[in-house]
């Protein structure tokens, strides 16, 4: 299966276009937040703007070249979670927003965990061979583990800075029900992605994954070749 050279360039242009549009929207929102002296939200918006810009502005200084596909998914998720969810109060307007984002996070983190082990498993330079079932299991617990760390982060922000990231849900004002449903949806998303990865390896339908792995190795030879 041959790679199409125009595809990475198209994704990169889409990544830059989405990033510019998001930065403009957040910059406009920042002006209103400063005007209204909502300093906690000002800090949050500035943090989101910085987090989405760093991989582009400092890409030559980063130890790893992050593929544009992953950067695009990451900035969309950060924008939807922190900016739309927290600053624009989508969590309050749309009851399903939090669950949808956590389900998406489970899928993305499961994919990330799968790719991490897949790269090691399929790379001839690494003397490591793992069964598809183990790779799927690792991907599942990787996604669920990162989701758990996020819930700890939400709890810390609420306790230390007075945020309301753990929302009242189903009559429970403590946020515990919200946290548990977030973890359940994280687990479902990670399980779905782990199952898809397992079926992909079992049935040897690996063309697209192989292309991602090959491009990642080509862009980051220092991780795979000594002396680079």
Q: Which residues contact 40 (CB under 8 A, 6 or more apart)?
A: 161, 162, 163
3-state secondary structure of 119: helix
Please tell me the predicted confidence (pLDDT) of residue 185.
93
Q: What is the mean pLDDT of the chain?
A: 80
Q: pTM score, two decimals?
A: 0.69
Residue found by looking up tokens 């991490």 in the block: 116
The confidence band for 221, taking pLDDT boundaries of 50, 70 and 90, is low
Q: Are the C-beta atoms of 91 and 85 separated by less than 8 Å?
A: yes
Q: How far apart are CA 20 and CA 147, in angstroms?
A: 28
Whether residue 59 is predicted with pLDDT greater than 50 in this model: the reply is yes
Please tell me the predicted confidence (pLDDT) of residue 152.
95
The dihedrals phi and psi of 61, each to the nearest 5 degrees, come to -95, -10
What integer is the mean pLDDT of 188-210?
77
pLDDT (tens digit per residue) in 100-133? 988 888 888 888 888 777 777 665 555 566 788 8
The confidence band for 6, taking pLDDT boundaries of 50, 70 and 90, is very low
Of 210 and 146, the one with more pLDDT: 146
DSSP conformation letters of 134-168: HHHHHHHHHHHHHHHHHHHHHHHHHHHH----S--
Please tell me the predicted confidence (pLDDT) of residue 151.
92
Specify whether the backbone of 77 is left (phi greater than 0), alpha (psi in -120 to 50) or beta. Answer: alpha
Please tell me the predicted confidence (pLDDT) of residue 223.
60
Q: How far apart are CA 94 and CA 98, in angstroms?
A: 8
CA 208 to chain centre: 20
Q: Are the C-beta atoms of 105 and 147 separated by less than 8 Å?
A: yes
């Amino acid at each position: 299966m041959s790679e199409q050279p125009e595809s990475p360039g198209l994704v990169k242009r889409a990544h830059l276009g989405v990033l510019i549009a998001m930065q403009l929207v957040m910059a406009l929102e920042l002006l209103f937040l400063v005007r209204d002296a909502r300093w906690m939200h000002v800090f949050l918006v500035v943090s989101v703007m910085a987090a989405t810009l760093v991989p582009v502005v400092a890409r030559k200084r980063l130890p790893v070249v992050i593929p544009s596909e992953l950067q695009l998914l990451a900035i969309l998720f950060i924008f939807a979670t922190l900016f739309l969810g927290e600053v624009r109060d989508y969590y309050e307007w749309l009851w399903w927003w939090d669950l949808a984002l956590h389900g998406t996070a489970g899928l993305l983190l499961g994919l990330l965990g799968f790719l991490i082990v897949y790269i090691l498993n399929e790379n001839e330079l690494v003397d490591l061979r793992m069964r598809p079932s183990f790779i799927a299991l690792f991907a599942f617990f990787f996604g669920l583990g990162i989701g758990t760390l996020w819930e700890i982060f939400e709890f810390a922000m609420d306790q230390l800075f007075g945020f309301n990231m753990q929302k009242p849900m189903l009559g429970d004002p403590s946020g515990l029900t919200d946290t548990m449903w977030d973890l359940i949806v994280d687990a479902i998303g990670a399980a779905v992605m782990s199952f898809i990865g397992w079926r992909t390896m079992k049935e040897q339908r690996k063309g697209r994954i192989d292309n991602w792995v090959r491009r990642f190795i080509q862009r980051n030879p220092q991780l795979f070749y000594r002396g680079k």
